Amino acid sequence: MNERLPGYLKNEILKIKSRKDIFETSRIIKEKELNTVCSSSRCPNLNLCFSNKTATFLLLGDKCTRKCPFCNIDYADFQHDGSSEPLSEYSAADISEPQKVVYAVKSLGLKHAVITMVTRDDLKDGGADILVKTVRKIRETTDCQTVEVLTSDFNGNEKSAMEVAKSGVDIFGHNIETVERLYSAIRPSSSYERSLKLLKTIKEKATDIITKSGIMVGLGEDDDEVFKTIDDLINSGVEFITIGQYLRPSLKNIPVQRYVPLKKFIEYKNYANKKGVKQVFSAPLVRSSFGAEKFFKHSV
């Protein structure tokens, strides 16, 4: 199904603050050869975020070891049945990434830094070490006040997840992405239960940090399934929830099944609020790291 893009989405995508700041943000990122989820995922908010001199840094390379059909990030061939060797030309993590991110944080004057990662099933720790070093480096050498991470599921490696959670982060995010029924089609190498378990473990063992997760709608789910997913996140201790419209990044990705009406996003938000969720951002162009600093400040 390929419905035409609603007018309200077109209007929002066109909103930017300063073209000069877009170029400056891009220059800083390119200077240190950093990856951002903004560019790699072809986020519709890229120009808006860059114009506000913000970006979400993507660590551990620009290729993911999982091939989710909704995602535009490049895929590095890796067999999840354990039959493959580590990715020979790709397995080494860039040990200079923490310092590169620190440079960008300082140059952009960020007070709230958001760090995400590609999934690295080829690495024993899933890439946790680089995230830990990046968070600590930001804390030790910048004026950044709060740090948020958006991680993979570390393939169920609780030790790796906890090392990141205890590295000095204020918000630990991991996106559930979609409803349970659609996992085999939307996240074929991931597990709905594993993601919920990760979020629950973090909240139980690192009670001082905020847990966060996000859902995409428009992939073929129905409202009852969205409500159930919200319930499952709440039962796993999630305090911040983002809900946004899936937009097809390219023709190689799965098509949009429906454009969810604006009133539905309000319904989802009201439902989560009534169930006690601390903070809910629910709107078509909401993404897990979009407006993250305001999202955090509104909760404290």
Q: What is the dihedral of CA 13, 10, 288, 269, to 10 degrees?
A: 130
Q: Is 87 among the domain residues?
A: no
Most confident of 5-14, 86-95, 101-110: 101-110
Q: Residues of the chain with pLDDT > 90: what percent?
A: 64
In contact, 143 and 171? CB cutoff 8 Å: no
Q: How many domains does the chain have?
A: 1
Looking at the predicted structure, is the pLDDT value of residue 89 above 60?
no
Q: Is 2 among the domain residues?
A: no
The pLDDT assigned to 90 comes to: 44
Q: Is 257 among the domain residues?
A: yes
The pLDDT assigned to 88 comes to: 43
Residue for token digits 């604006």? 262
What is the widest separation between alpha-carbon atoms in the chain? 50
Measured CA to CA, the distance from residue 109 to residue 194 in angstroms comes to 36
Residues 6+ apart with CB under 8 A from 166: 206
In contact, 160 and 152? CB cutoff 8 Å: no
What is the rounded average pLDDT of the residues 157-164?
Answer: 97
Give the pTM: 0.90
pLDDT tens track for 30-42: 888 888 878 887 8
Q: Is 7 among the domain residues?
A: no
pLDDT tens track for 216-240: 999 999 999 999 999 999 999 999 9
Give the bridge partners for 146, in sequence order.
Answer: 112
Q: Is 288 among the domain residues?
A: yes
* CATH value at residue 222: 3.20.20.70
Residues 6+ apart with CB under 8 A from 100: 32, 33, 34
Q: Which amino acid is at 247?
A: L
Q: Is 6 among the domain residues?
A: no
Looking at the predicted structure, is the pLDDT value of residue 118 above 90?
yes
In contact, 195 and 237? CB cutoff 8 Å: no
Q: Is 234 among the domain residues?
A: yes
Phi-psi region of 252 (alpha: psi -120 to 50; beta: other; left: phi over 0): alpha
* Structure confidence at residue 2 as a pLDDT band (50, 70, 90): low
Q: Residues of the chain with pLDDT > 70: what percent?
A: 86
Measured CA to CA, the distance from residue 192 to residue 184 in angstroms comes to 10
Measured CA to CA, the distance from residue 121 to residue 118 in angstroms comes to 10
Q: Is 191 among the domain residues?
A: yes
Measured CA to CA, the distance from residue 229 to residue 231 in angstroms comes to 5
| Residues spanned by the domain of 69 | 62-80+93-297
